[in-house]
């Protein structure tokens, strides 16, 4: 568990790093200037000099470390997904509600909403009910990859699709309310080529098309948003276009920006200065539950309701 502090940020101290290997921990500590490395998580969670923990481990360890951080009243950033099972999800919700302190925060690495192009599109589209399409040319992953392992990686729906549901939640400024999913049949039941239809509390609708069977020559992510005569498009987080009644607005970046750096800087700034969470807990929990409901919807062939 580690992350390198932003350059020039004297308020951030790289205190400790822990990895699955003592040798790796030492290498990371030396490379990024951590004060010490450890193989014992208690050296981190029981250390009063550490107020913030970054969890960047394999998916099956996320829930346990999140719970350790919350119970230690530490700010916690965890890479997606928050957890792998409904039981873990309910436990985290319960602990967060009972132990959450005013100066403690929880953030899941839903970085797409922090992209510059996401901000520009949101400003141009405005507020209110909208219709949205998020197409992901995900590409195939070998069957023996840890990501496909339901116990370790949780599969691609749990491990990655949460990203895209969160983006539509951010764009519509409304929580997902109902979920219906259909998948292309596959012999190994990976469910990694599927359509997900979402209804949001404010009436917005969205579709996430996550396809593992496409060409590698096609860009990975493509987004369309429609609202009251205005249409916005993001192409692989490199370019944005907005069409309305006047001249189209276009902006192209020199390099891809999926929002990771902005998210980390914002998280650290919120810790130092206080204020509202970077992502409201209600959104984190609703997006996570909606992701679990995708798999349940595939089993039951029906629409399911997000109920927090």
pLDDT one-digit tens code per residue, 158-190: 999 999 999 999 999 999 999 999 999 988 888
Using DSSP's 3-state secondary structure scheme, residue 115 falls into coil
Q: Are 62 and 81 part of one and the same domain?
A: yes
Mean pLDDT in residue range 223-237? 98
Residue 132: per-residue pLDDT: 98
Instruction: State yes or no: pLDDT of 216 exceeds 80.
Output: yes
Mean pLDDT of the chain: 92
Q: What is the pTM of this model?
A: 0.93
Mean pLDDT in residue range 248-274? 94
Q: Are 74 and 46 part of one and the same domain?
A: yes
Half-sphere exposure of 194 (CA within 13 A, CB side): 25
Q: Is residue 268 included in any domain, yes or no?
A: no
pLDDT one-digit tens code per residue, 191-215: 999 999 999 999 999 999 999 999 9
Q: Are 173 and 148 part of one and the same domain?
A: yes
Residue 103: per-residue pLDDT: 53
Q: Whole domain around residue 77: which residue ranges?
A: 16-108
Q: Is residue 4 included in any domain, yes or no?
A: no
Judged on CB neighbours under 10 Å (0-12, 13-18, 19+), 121 is buried
Residue 102: per-residue pLDDT: 54
Q: Are 116 and 75 part of one and the same domain?
A: no
Contact 35, 59 (CB under 8 A): no
What are the φ/ψ torsions at residue 251 (nearest 5 degrees)? -145, 130
Q: Are 144 and 224 part of one and the same domain?
A: yes
Instruction: State yes or no: pLDDT of 39 exceeds 60.
Output: yes
Question: What are the respective helix, strand and coil percentages of the chain, to the nearest 5?
Answer: 35, 25, 40
Q: Is residue 76 included in any domain, yes or no?
A: yes
Q: Are 54 and 40 part of one and the same domain?
A: yes
User: Which domain CATH number covers 34?
Assistant: 3.40.50.720
Q: Are 153 and 287 part of one and the same domain?
A: yes
Which sign does the torsion angle of CA 61, 66, 71, 74 carry? positive
Half-sphere exposure of 119 (CA within 13 A, CB side): 9
Q: Are 79 and 66 part of one and the same domain?
A: yes
Between residues 22 and 40, the one the model is more confident about: 40
Q: Are 86 and 116 part of one and the same domain?
A: no
Q: Are 119 and 95 part of one and the same domain?
A: no
Indicate the pLDDT class of residue 104, thresholds 50, 70 and 90. Answer: low
Residue 202: per-residue pLDDT: 97
**Partners of 197 in the β-ladder:** 180, 207
Contact 236, 222 (CB under 8 A): yes
Q: Is residue 168 included in any domain, yes or no?
A: yes
Q: Is residue 185 included in any domain, yes or no?
A: yes
Q: Is residue 8 included in any domain, yes or no?
A: no
End of a domain among 89, 108, 127? Answer: 108
Using DSSP's 3-state secondary structure scheme, residue 242 falls into strand
End of a domain among 80, 108, 136? Answer: 108
Q: What tokens were used for 11? A: 């308020």
Q: Is residue 10 included in any domain, yes or no?
A: no
Domain count for the chain: 2
User: Which domain CATH number covers 139?
Assistant: 3.30.360.10
Contact 197, 209 (CB under 8 A): no
- Nearest-10 crossing angle of helices 281-300, 162-172: 120
Which sign does the torsion angle of CA 283, 284, 287, 288 carry? negative
Q: Are 30 and 81 part of one and the same domain?
A: yes
119/107 Cα distance (integer angstroms): 19
296/307 Cα distance (integer angstroms): 14
Which sign does the torsion angle of CA 185, 189, 192, 196 carry? positive
Residue 1: per-residue pLDDT: 41
Q: Are 98 and 220 part of one and the same domain?
A: no
End of a domain among 67, 84, 108? Answer: 108
Least confident of 95-104, 119-128, 251-260: 95-104
């Amino acid at each position: 568990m580690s992350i390198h502090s932003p350059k020039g940020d004297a308020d951030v101290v790289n205190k400790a790093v822990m990895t699955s290997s003592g040798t790796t921990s030492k290498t990371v500590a030396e490379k990024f200037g951590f004060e010490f490395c450890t193989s014992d998580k208690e050296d981190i969670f029981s250390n009063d000099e550490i107020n913030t923990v970054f969890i960047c481990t394999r998916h099956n360890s996320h829930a346990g470390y999140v719970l350790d951080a919350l119970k230690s009243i530490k700010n916690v950033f965890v890479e997606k997904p928050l957890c792998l099972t409904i039981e873990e999800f309910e436990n985290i919700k319960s602990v967060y509600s009972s132990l959450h302190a005013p100066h403690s925060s929880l953030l899941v690495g839903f970085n797409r909403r922090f992209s510059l192009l996401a901000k520009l599109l949101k400003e141009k589209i405005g507020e209110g009910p909208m219709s949205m399409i998020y197409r992901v040319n995900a590409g195939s992953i070998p069957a023996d990859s840890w990501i496909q392992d339901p116990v370790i990686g949780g599969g691609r729906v749990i491990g990655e699709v949460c990203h895209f549901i969160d983006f539509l939640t951010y764009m519509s400024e409304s929580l997902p309310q109902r979920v219906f999913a259909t998948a292309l049949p596959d012999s190994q039941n990976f469910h990694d080529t599927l359509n997900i239809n979402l209804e949001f509390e404010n009436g917005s609708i969205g579709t996430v098309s996550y396809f593992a069977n496409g060409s590698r020559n096609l860009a990975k992510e493509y987004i369309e948003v429609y609202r009251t005569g205005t249409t916005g498009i993001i192409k692989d987080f490199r370019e944005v276009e907005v069409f309305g009644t006047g001249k189209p607005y276009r902006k192209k970046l020199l390099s891809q920006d999926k929002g990771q750096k902005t998210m980390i800087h914002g998280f650290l700034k919120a810790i130092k200065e206080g204020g509202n969470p970077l992502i409201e807990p209600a959104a984190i929990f609703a997006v996570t539950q909606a992701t679990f409901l995708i798999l349940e919807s595939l089993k039951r062939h029906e629409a399911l309701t997000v109920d927090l």
